[in-house]
Amino acid sequence: MNLEIVNSQTWKNQLKKSLFLSFLIFVLSACVILAFGFFIDKISFPLLSSLIVLPLVGSLLLIFINRNQEELIKMTALMVSLIEFILSLPLYLSFDKSTAQMQFREEYLWIPKWGIKYSLGVDGISAPFIILSSLLTILCILVSWREINKKIKEFYIAILVTHTAMIGVFMSLDTFLFYIFWEAMLIPMYLIVGVWGGPRRIYSAIKFFLYTFIGSLFMLVGIIFLFLYTGTSDMLKLMNNIYPYNMQIWLFLAFFVAFAVKVPMWPVHTWLPDAHTEAPTAGSVILAGILIKMGAYGFLRFNLPMFPDATIAFKPLMLILSVIAIIYGALICLVQSDLKRLIAYSSVSHMGFVTLGIFALNHQGIQGGLIQMINHGIVTGALFLCVGIIYQRTHTRQIADYGGVATVMPLYSAFFMLFTLASIGLPGTNGFIGEFLILYGAFKAQKIMGILGATALIIGAAYMLWLYQRVFFEKTSNYVLEHIRYYGDLNVREMVILIPLAILVIWIGFYPGTFLGIMDISVRELLIHINTLLGVAR
């Protein structure tokens, strides 16, 4: 590291930064005022479309910035994501908790000949994920600040486009629109893993792409079939249609393949450890935080409400697959030697909890599943961010190279401990709320599934605490000392990344009502919907 050059450039950077900072504050305050304006009259302003368009505009802006002005590129990306986040807040602030109807509706004819519409809307099931996604995108941009050193411009463009596609999936109310966003997200994600990833990035990127793409093709067949059968692509109409039993089974399977790969459920999970491990930190966070939630979301939007009879028929199988994922993922975590791979496999286990809750098919199960999806986004996202932060200092992901980090980085260790505890599901953290609800739901549905799922309490504690011990406790290894001395503990940027997530962990842990309240009616309506349609087909 050439210190002199760094020093001579420092004051210039400082000046630039302060300029940007003032600009930033200006924009932020403007946004806050605007945001307040929206929820006085939310219909007149196309909030959801602007959420979709804004990152695209941002990436267009980035295209026109000279690639040498790295700070400017980063700042622009950061600002766009900040504005996006503030814009997404009305989704919570002016959300009507008393209805299960779609809110913030927008509808335009898109392909008039076939009646395909550009139709957006959110309800209690999707709204939290849009906000979460906006938050995580900010953090992803921040964590990439020093980590990404090549093709910086393209990287931030990719991040912003991914964001657009992801929130598009959560908003779409038209099957074709849904499919387009679903697939659109693959392209930038493929690039993020393949271009900025680790040593085995090409293999992982191709694997990730083909795996999910093949799954999605089944969904495409399902969507086209539904369209031909009913003549509409409106998801709300499709939901109220009644399909013959045999057709339900086949359609369920078609959608199931696409969503199961995405979740990922056992045994189609093997793309996940490779992709998570090789992706750059931001990529891992997006993958774990939002992308894999789309699978579970798909179950709730398509499989459950549209094919209730098939859902009941497949319920035992789904529960078994979920429990296998929970235990299998946890056991594999015990023997991982790579930090990121361990956390990736823990995702398999945690997402097993999500599907266990969803297919328990009762209020607590589904609500717990939703909360667990948010939790997993926060906690696993945070753990990947933590790994990214230390990887940047040490350039190793091998657990064996670490040891005694707590002595040299006490603040970092405290944050990591908090996220570890949340991952274990300690009461008082968000993890407990999700796991408790899910286990109760599963227990109510099928006692043995609840019991088997609960074994993850033990194995989960074992692998996470063992990981923590090997990385943070005992004597400080020379390797760690050498590499961390120069950087020291967390800097301000890194604190800014971790603090919001830490607050969320505690917040949901002690007052989950904020989130449970939003979902409540939507989940109840979903179950009522399923129960009324149940058996009609026969």
Partner 1 sequence: MEKFYFLIPLFPLAGFFINLFFGRFLKIKAVNAIAIAPIALSFIVSLLAVWEVLSGKIIEYNLYTWILSEELKVSFGYLIDELTAVMLIVVTLVSLLVHFYSTGYMHGDPGYYRYFAYLNLFVFSMLMLVMGNNVVQLYFGWEAVGLCSYFLIGFWYEKRSASDAGKKAFIVNRIGDFGFLLGILLLFVNLQSLNYGDIFQKVGLLQDKEITFLLWNVDLITVIAILLFCGAIGKSAQLPLHVWLPDAMEGPTPVSALIHAATMVTAGVFMVARLNPLYSLSEVALMVVAFTGAITSFMAATIGVVQRDIKRIIAYSTISQLGYMFLACGLAAYGAGIFHLYTHAFFKALLFLCAGSVMHAMAGELDIFKMGGLRKYMPITYLTFLIAALTIAGVPGLSGFFSKDEILWFAYASPMPYGKVLWILATITAFLTAFYTFRILFVAFHGEFRGDEHLRKHLHESPTSMTIPLLLLAVLSILAGYFSVTHFIEPIVGKAVTALPHEDEKFVMTISILVSLSGIGLAWFIYICKPHFADAIKSRFQFIYRVLWNKYYFDELYDYLFVKPTIYFSRTVVEKITDRGIIEGIVNGVPKLCYIAGKSMRNLQTGFMQHYAILMIIGVCIILFIIFSV
Q: Which is nearer to partner 1, 180 or 454 (CB)?
A: 454
Among 130, 261, 344, 421, binds partner 1 (CB under 8 A): 421
Locate 165 and state its tokens: 């596609």
How far does Cα 173 stand from its chain's mean position?
20
Smallest distance from the beta carbon of 184 to partner 1, in angstroms?
Answer: 24
> x/- string (CB under 8 A) for partner 1, residues 316-355?
------------x--xx-xx--------------------
> x/- string (CB under 8 A) for partner 1, residues 503-532?
-------xxxx--x---x---x--------
Q: Which is nearer to partner 1, 84 or 278 (CB)?
A: 278
CB of 416 closer than 8 Å to CB of 472: yes
DSSP H/E element including 287: none
CB of 255 closer than 8 Å to CB of 301: no
383-402 exposure pattern, b = at least 16 Cβ within 10 A, e = fewer:
bbbbbbbbbbbbebbebebb
Residue 36 neighbours by CB under 8 Å, 6+ apart:
none
Q: Which is nearer to partner 1, 37 or 410 (CB)?
A: 410
Q: Which is nearer to partner 1, 88 or 522 (CB)?
A: 522
Among 37, 231, 427, 488, binds partner 1 (CB under 8 A): 427
- Give the footprint of partner 1 on residues 86-105 (CB under 8 A): none
- Give the footprint of partner 1 on residues 436-465 (CB under 8 A): 436-437, 439-440, 443-444, 447, 450-451, 454-455, 457-458, 461-462, 465
Q: Which is nearer to partner 1, 43 or 210 (CB)?
A: 210
Size of the site for partner 1 (CB under 8 A): 54
Smallest distance from the beta carbon of 95 to partner 1, in angstroms?
Answer: 18
Number of Cβ atoms within 10 Å of the Cβ of 129: 26
DSSP string for residues in 11-45: HHHHHHHHHHHHHHHHHHHHHHHHHHHHTTS-SSS
- Site for partner 1 contains 207 (CB under 8 A): yes
CB of 364 closer than 8 Å to CB of 444: yes
Number of Cβ atoms within 10 Å of the Cβ of 510: 13
As a whole number of angstroms, the distance between CA 134 and CA 88 comes to 7
In degrees and rounded to multiples of 5, residue 420 shows phi and psi of -60, -45
Residues within the interface to partner 1 (CB under 8 A): 207, 210-211, 267, 270-271, 328, 331-332, 334-335, 363-364, 367-368, 404, 406-407, 421, 426-428, 432-433, 436-437, 439-440, 443-444, 447, 450-451, 454-455, 457-458, 461-462, 465-466, 469, 472-476, 510-513, 516, 520, 524
